[in-house]
A and B are shown apart, each in its own frame.
Chain A
């Protein structure tokens, strides 16, 4: 198999990419179909095995730490925060981060909580948050969060008081959302790195709030 290859990384260093123990061979018909299609596309030169390796590396490099960094900056820099809300792509790119898609950043306030979903499929700001959690793509989340967001948030352990409005934002391939959570109390004087450590994937989706441990 091509993933058990040896290759040269430039400076004469050759190393082996080990198979991961939980990297099973294809089992279902669709797994076989996917791997058959992949092999044919590579053979036909639509893309190369090297293109695939590089793309997987890029996809795996995207994590919620990027979103957390953006939020921490907004918490310490009011001008950045204003720009993030009015022109999110421009603000995010000023940090050297490429979002790939048009973004809207929605800010949690004392009187308003925000949560994101993609009811039709699974659109998500992947470059800022990494891969979607499985539940974000699940039928039950997609069905229910627009119908009974307060109950869904409660299942995530997030109690939103009745007087606080909840806005649910339905993403599309052309427009993706990220939540700007509220800065937790008790973090006065914290630096950006420490603040970023409080911001989780789920708080950027809006199903939880960051909290001081």
Chain B
């Protein structure tokens, strides 16, 4: 462990840095998180994603704000969406339109749209 390391290769490269207390609270995985988890594994199985290294690289290049500011499965989601657009599996326009439609549908059904 190099204790003098000043410039880690990215926000993910944090082993050995100073840190605070560990929150040991348990987190129940929500249904949307299970769906994202399944999505990643099914994309590997379909050969659309190559391997975890590809996903991890995409997560690491989301930028420090996304890395620190997003939840674990939110980072996965952002990275997979980016890769799917890059690979031409979906277009950014399709994604944007579907997000807008889901938000509108939830608003119409009295959901917690803010």
Residues on A lying within 8 angstroms of B by beta carbon are 3, 20, 22-41, 44, 46-47, 51-52, 55-56, 59-60, 117, 119-123, 131, 133-135, 137-144, 146-147, 152, 155-156, 170, 173
For residue B106, which residues in chain A have a CB less than 8 angstroms away from its CB? 25-26
Known: A41-B89, A52-B42. A140 touches B16 (CB 8 A): no
Contact status A30-B102, CB under 8 Å: no
For residue A137, which residues in chain B have a CB less than 8 angstroms away from its CB? 72
- Identify which of B14, B41, B72 contacts A55 (C-beta below 8 A): B41
Q: How far is the CA of A44 from the CA of B106 in the complex (A)?
A: 23
Contact status B95-A37, CB under 8 Å: yes
Contact status B99-A41, CB under 8 Å: no
Q: How far is the CA of A130 from the CA of B23 in the complex (A)?
A: 19
For residue A46, which residues in chain B have a CB less than 8 angstroms away from its CB? 42-43, 46, 48, 89
- Identify which of A20, A28, A44, A123 contacts B89 (C-beta below 8 A): A44
Contact status A31-B32, CB under 8 Å: yes
For residue A56, which residues in chain B have a CB less than 8 angstroms away from its CB? 34-35, 37-38
Chain B stretch 54-78: residues in CB contact (< 8 A) with chain A: 56, 59, 68, 70-74, 77-78
Contact status A139-B14, CB under 8 Å: yes
Contact status A141-B22, CB under 8 Å: yes
Contact status B31-A173, CB under 8 Å: no
Q: How far is the CA of A140 from the CA of B21 in the complex (A)?
A: 7
Contact status A140-B23, CB under 8 Å: yes
Q: How far is the CA of A155 from the CA of B45 in the complex (A)?
A: 39
